[in-house]
Amino acid sequence: MKLLRLLILFIVFQVSAQQGGMWIPSMLEGKNEKEMQSLGMKMTASDIYNINNSSLKDAVVHFNGGCTSELISSRALLLTNHHCGYGAIQSHSSVAHDYLKDGFWAMTDAEELPNPGMVATLIVRIDDITNRAFEGTSDNMTEKQRLDKIAQNLDKAQKEVVKESWQEVFVKSIYHGNQYLLYVTEVFKDIRLVGAPPSSIGKFGSDTDNWMWPRHTGDFSLFRIYASKDNKPATYSKDNVPYIPKHFLPVSLDGVAENDFTLVFGFPGRTNEYLPSIAVDQLANKLNPARIEVRDVALKIVDSYMRKDQQIKIQYASKYASIANYWKKWIGESQGINKSDAVKIKKKLETDFDKLVAAKGLQNKYGTLLSDFDSMYKEIEAVSLANDYWSEVVNRNVELLSATVMMYQLEQVYEKKGTQAFEEAREKLNKRLEGFYKNYNATVDKAVFEKLIEIYANNIPRTYLSKSLSNVDFKKLTDEIYKKSKLTSYEGVSELLSGSPSDFVKKINKDKGYQLGKELTADFYNNINPKFVKMSEEIATVQKVYMKALLELFPEERIFPDANSTLRVTYGKVSGYQPKDAVYYKPVSYLDGIIEKYVPNDYEFDVPLKLRELYETKDFGQYAENGKIPVAFIGTNHTTGGNSGSPAIDAHGNLIGLNFDRVWEGTMSDLYYDPAISRNIMVDIRYVLFIVDKYAGATRLIDEMKLVHPKKK
């Protein structure tokens, strides 16, 4: 007994040393509330989430599915990142009005620009329906029977939910299938662009500074939610009016100091904090390096062409940015995993876990979990690698091959679903390809192909190597395909796509590029993908039990649910960090740093004249602190992709910043949060106000906000 207690004590310590966490807003009472208050928060859990009265959650909005945004005025002014509004800003831009380059500011409501298809989702309520979900399931069911029963239960729960006619509903599981939450939402569909700074502010530092601190990016843009006259969600109409929110965030002019409490409220996408050590090791040291190698080569080639040719630069800028974003993240992640000793720490925890299971006599239930993980991850490694190589090389970085994947899918539609389905799919694909080829350059793609196809052939695990790629002269193969294939231009593709379905099939199968792409893709769908999916499902079943065991064996622990694109609260403090020996990074950056980084006419570090003038004349209005304009700050909030645009909130519930990134050394926080070096990066809200007011002169927007001085009461 004594041994058991000792063990528990020790293991508890190991788990809580991790900190971090993305918590469910409706479940903050108790432990989280106490912890937040001990960090300096002056609010209660019900100030954050309340279904009877307005609360902070009524101001936090899921922005178009992928990002977060927040309401900052009684007229539904909506703040998010520049990189979240990028697509919308781009879609309104032309050579004559280049809003990406020059920025955009609506000086009246009438100038605000509608964005068909864009949605903004508010969370009305979160219900825990776990008991309902498991109703009628039992331990002697097979996993499939159990999952089917749960699916039925969830379906029923959604149909029977109490909600208003204009509201929507969905269910998500947390803790890997051990708990189920139902969300009632309101989805607004008339979202208009209100303002955006030029990219030289909103994307300042671009890829060089991406995932890095010190940072100086003014990564924000402004939108507005419009509703019907009775304040309900409605599709665009010129008669719609600004939505009147239940709550909007007051904006603090008092800024932050080291150790100030911060809360970040948003929609983090995906984390994997409870993977076994073997999986983390595999990801950091096998899968990430493979993906990084592919992108490394592709990015270098594309970059060399972008630097030589303005047209290519425009065509590839957005693709390059998105490929570079995760390339850089994976490098940071793998380094962080190894530097923080995450694998060793997890191994230790697993040894203790097994001991505790034995000490409690739970071997029958939980005794084989870790050895199951071990054998399963060993088994899945080759097919995971194959999956990644195919996804990166065929489906993404070689554009001609990614076009063959689309063609393959179209051919499959015809084969499996017949003519009518084919006609519909063909029309859609045609539109998609038109956009695709606008940004396509065959010379660039050929250079990428030649290098990547060699990496693919040499590195994909041998069992998954397609026939045509063994013993091949890569140079010859490349020349032949890019000389003969019609997939190198939209005209060529249109020709392939035209005619009757059987014409299409005949023509396409004669194309050299398609022949190779089809073989690789068919091998993927027939050999790689089914095995990968099956093994992943088996692993998920073990992960579910492992998660259950952790929750059961450590009931007192702060075990947070992995992110799943639902609304979460994370909290911490404004805090610098030590990235390496003898170096300490302070937590706040200033406009002075922008001037330091300024490189005239550089595509990453140019600074607009107006901003330089404001700096020179110190025309800072009410936004300076000791004569300096703060730009960004970092904190210990645990965030991930999807938290972009999330509000950073002070101890009283005021807006102090806008989340947009993490520091490079700490990006492994999706797998292992290390409080010493994991930091999120936020734009200081005073920089946003300064740009809106002094740079853009959009004072009407400042006037509709509620500016407060919480520290100067």
What are the DSSP calls for 319-371, one per residue? HHHHHHHHHHHHHHHHHHHHHTTHHHHHHHHHHHHHHHHHHTT-HHHHTTHHH
* CB-nearer residue toward ligand ARG: 39 or 321: 321
| 642 belongs to the binding site for ligand GLU (CB under 6 A) | yes
User: If contact means CB under 5 to 8 A according to the sort of partner, which of ligand ARG, ligand GLU, none does residue 642 touch?
Assistant: ligand GLU
- Are 709 and 254 contacting, i.e. CB atoms less than 8 angstroms apart? yes
- Are 336 and 677 contacting, i.e. CB atoms less than 8 angstroms apart? yes
Choose, by CB under 6 A, the member of 46, 325, 368, 439 that binds ligand ARG.
325
d(CA 523, CA 407): 15
Closest chain position to ligand GLU (CB): 644
Catalytic one of 83, 176, 216, 247? 83
Bridge partners of residue 708, in order along the sequence:
252
97 in catalytic set: no
* CB-nearer residue toward ligand ARG: 153 or 680: 680
Ranges within 150-209 binding ligand ARG (CB under 6 A): 206-207
Residue 17 DSSP class = T
Maximum distance among all Cα pairs of the chain, rounded to whole angstroms:
79
Rounded (5°) CA angle 117-121-126: 150
Contacts of 52 (CB under 8 A, 6+ apart): none
How, if at all, do strands 707-708 and 251-252 pair?
Answer: parallel
Choose, by CB under 6 A, the member of 221, 397, 644, 678 that binds ligand GLU.
644
Catalytic one of 190, 219, 281, 670? 219
473-496 b/e (C-beta count within 10 Å ≥ 16 → b): ebeebbeebbeebbbbebebbeeb
| 660 belongs to the binding site for ligand GLU (CB under 6 A) | yes
* CB-nearer residue toward ligand ARG: 326 or 436: 326
Q: CB of residue 593 vs ligand ARG: minimum separation in angstroms?
A: 17
d(CA 392, CA 71): 38
What are 86's two structure tokens? Answer: 């990028």
Choose, by CB under 6 A, the member of 57, 75, 83, 176 that binds ligand ARG.
83
Q: CB of residue 644 vs ligand ARG: minimum separation in angstroms?
A: 5
User: If contact means CB under 5 to 8 A according to the sort of partner, which of ligand ARG, ligand GLU, none does residue 207 touch?
Assistant: ligand ARG
Choose, by CB under 6 A, the member of 488, 639, 654, 678 that binds ligand GLU.
639
* CB-nearer residue toward ligand ARG: 173 or 325: 325
Report how many helices (DSSP H) and strands (DSSP E) the chain contains, helices first.
27, 22
176 in catalytic set: no
| 350 belongs to the binding site for ligand ARG (CB under 6 A) | no
| 440 belongs to the binding site for ligand GLU (CB under 6 A) | no
590-623 b/e (C-beta count within 10 Å ≥ 16 → b): bbebbeebbeeeeebbebbeebeebbeeeebeeb
200 in catalytic set: no
User: If contact means CB under 5 to 8 A according to the sort of partner, which of ligand ARG, ligand GLU, none does residue 399 touch?
Assistant: none
| 340 belongs to the binding site for ligand ARG (CB under 6 A) | no
- Are 339 and 486 contacting, i.e. CB atoms less than 8 angstroms apart? no
Q: CB of residue 690 vs ligand ARG: minimum separation in angstroms?
A: 21
Ranges within 201-230 binding ligand ARG (CB under 6 A): 206-207, 210-211
Only segment of 157-165, 509-517, 637-645, 704-712 that touches ligand GLU (CB under 6 A)? 637-645
User: If contact means CB under 5 to 8 A according to the sort of partner, which of ligand GLU, ligand ARG, none does residue 26 touch?
Assistant: none
d(CA 300, CA 598): 24
Decide: residue 435, CB within 10 A, 0-12 exposed, 13-18 middle, 19+ buried: exposed
User: If contact means CB under 5 to 8 A according to the sort of partner, which of ligand GLU, ligand ARG, none does residue 639 touch?
Assistant: ligand GLU
* CB-nearer residue toward ligand ARG: 67 or 655: 67
Compute the half-sphere exposure of residue 65: CA atoms within 13 Å on the CB side of its CA: 4
Catalytic one of 644, 646, 669, 678? 644
Closest chain position to ligand ARG (CB): 321
Cα distance between the two ends of the chain: 55
What are 205's two structure tokens? Answer: 């530092």
Ranges within 244-303 binding ligand ARG (CB under 6 A): none
| 564 belongs to the binding site for ligand GLU (CB under 6 A) | no
What are 237's two structure tokens? Answer: 């109409």
Q: CB of residue 565 vs ligand ARG: minimum separation in angstroms?
A: 14
| 324 belongs to the binding site for ligand ARG (CB under 6 A) | yes
* CB-nearer residue toward ligand GLU: 23 or 660: 660
Q: Which residues contact ligand GLU by CB under 6 A? A: 639-644, 660-662
Q: Which residues are the active-site residues?
A: 83, 219, 644
Q: Which residues contact ligand ARG by CB under 6 A? A: 83, 206-207, 210-211, 321, 324-325, 641, 644, 661
